[in-house]
């Protein structure tokens, strides 16, 4: 039996941690399914669900199954999704012309989803990399330079097509200069004044996108993306990108990846009054799931803790491949 010892302590922070009710009362940050945006990969076909090996739990879905997935997400309280098309190799070319073909996969997916679930916040990624045979986000000249101004009209047309099909938001992820104001102008001219722009304002040239590129077969065939995506070493440059996109008319801003860039997120939170989010990207998700598959950690808990830290650092919303599993866990009363 331990003898009772009492010290005269002025402060006892543990008092506020002594029961679930007290801990809950003083909890500063809470995850909620309505803060999640689920990125989804859509493929051609019927009843197709292709697992992505480097992203356990993630599948490429044909439109019919995409509708089911959206319904389940909505039922769990996740009201926003972001769509990425998986384009067949033989439909890719140098200038990504499939992106502008009337009736392409993304257009059909958007209109089917909007028809079935008008209440869904439907976002469409805007960039050329799923469509180009070289895998870059913009047009490329003969010397392999990624062309900025020549790419803008294509992004503008992609945004118009997404809006006409029923997208609520377009999400340019290409990192070309000036694309937010260019897209805004295109949307307005076509009468889509209510369609918003969620700008990937701060997107780093990260090695954490590899599983996503597996999912879309979209890895760059030459060079890298360092002339348009940002240098991971830079912080002030991120703040410049944030204020530029804000002034160009973005409605929401995104930082990407998330966990290695929480300092940027927290600084950006002080700088802008716009809604701000972070993308917990494919590689970040894959690292957690791989360790979980080994039995080395509890994947769901680590994922939830990670998402919580992203929110604590300043994110209003989070793109996460774990949207459904974490929302389902919360439904069972699990409290993060």
* Contact set with ligand PBG (CB under 6 A): 125, 127, 129, 137, 173-174, 209, 212-213, 281-282
Q: State yes or no: is 68 an active-site residue.
A: no
Cβ proximity to ligand PBG, 71 vs 223, nearer residue? 223
Given 92, 225, 256, 267, which residue is catalytic? 256
Residue 139: closest CA among 85, 190, 100: 100
> Minimum CB separation from ligand PBG for residue 131, in Å?
11
Catalytic hit among 203, 225, 267, 311? 203
Nearer Cβ to ligand PBG, position 69 or 129? 129
| Catalytic residue check, 203 | yes
In the complex, what is the shortest distance from the CB of residue 123 to ligand PBG, in angstroms, rounded to a whole number? 12
Alpha-carbon gap, residue 336 to 328, rounded angstroms: 12
| β-pair type (49-51, 59-62) | antiparallel
Q: Which of residues 35 and 173 has its CB atom nearest to ligand PBG in the complex?
A: 173
Quote the least distance from Cβ 204 to ligand PBG, whole Å.
Answer: 10
Smaller CB separation from ligand PBG, 49 or 210:
210
Q: HSE of 318 in the Cβ direction (CA atoms, 13 Å)?
A: 34
- Closest CB to ligand PBG among residues 104, 282: 282
Of 122, 123, 129, residue with least CA distance to 99: 129
Is-contact 279 319, C-beta < 8 A? yes
Min dist CB 84 to ligand PBG, Å, is 7
List, by residue number, the catalytic residues: 203, 256
């Amino acid at each position: 039996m331990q003898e009772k010892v009492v010290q005269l302590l002025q402060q006892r922070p543990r008092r506020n941690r002594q029961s679930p009710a007290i801990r809950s009362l003083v909890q500063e940050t809470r995850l909620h399914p309505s803060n999640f945006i689920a990125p989804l990969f859509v493929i051609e076909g019927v009843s197709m669900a292709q697992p992505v090996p480097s992203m356990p739990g993630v599948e490429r879905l044909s439109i019919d199954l995409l509708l089911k997935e959206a319904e389940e997400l909505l039922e769990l309280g996740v009201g926003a999704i972001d769509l990425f098309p998986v384009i067949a190799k033989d439909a890719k070319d140098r200038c990504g012309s499939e992106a502008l073909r009337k009736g392409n996969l993304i257009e059909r997916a958007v209109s089917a989803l909007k028809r079935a679930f008008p209440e869904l916040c439907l976002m469409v990624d805007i960039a050329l990399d799923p469509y180009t045979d070289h895998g870059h986000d913009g047009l490329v000249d003969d010397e392999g330079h990624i062309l900025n101004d020549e790419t803008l009209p294509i992004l503008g047309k992609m945004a118009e097509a997404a809006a006409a099909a029923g997208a609520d938001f377009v999400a340019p992820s290409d990192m070309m200069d000036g694309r937010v104001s260019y897209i805004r102008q295109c949307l307005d001219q076509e009468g889509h004044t209510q369609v918003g722009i969620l700008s990937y304002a701060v997107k780093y040239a990260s090695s954490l996108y590899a599983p996503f590129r597996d999912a879309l077969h979209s890895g760059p065939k030459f060079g890298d993306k360092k002339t348009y995506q940002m240098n991971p070493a830079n912080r002030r440059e991120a703040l410049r990108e944030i204020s530029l996109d804000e002034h160009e008319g973005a409605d929401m801003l995104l930082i990407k990846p998330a966990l290695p860039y929480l300092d940027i997120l927290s600084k950006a939170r002080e700088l802008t009054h716009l809604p701000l989010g972070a993308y917990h990207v494919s590689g970040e998700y894959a690292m957690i799931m791989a360790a979980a598959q080994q039995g080395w950690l509890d994947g769901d808990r680590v994922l939830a803790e990670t998402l919580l830290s992203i929110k604590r650092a300043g994110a209003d919303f989070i793109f996460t491949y774990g949207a459904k599993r974490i929302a389902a866990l919360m439904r069972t009363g699990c409290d993060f």
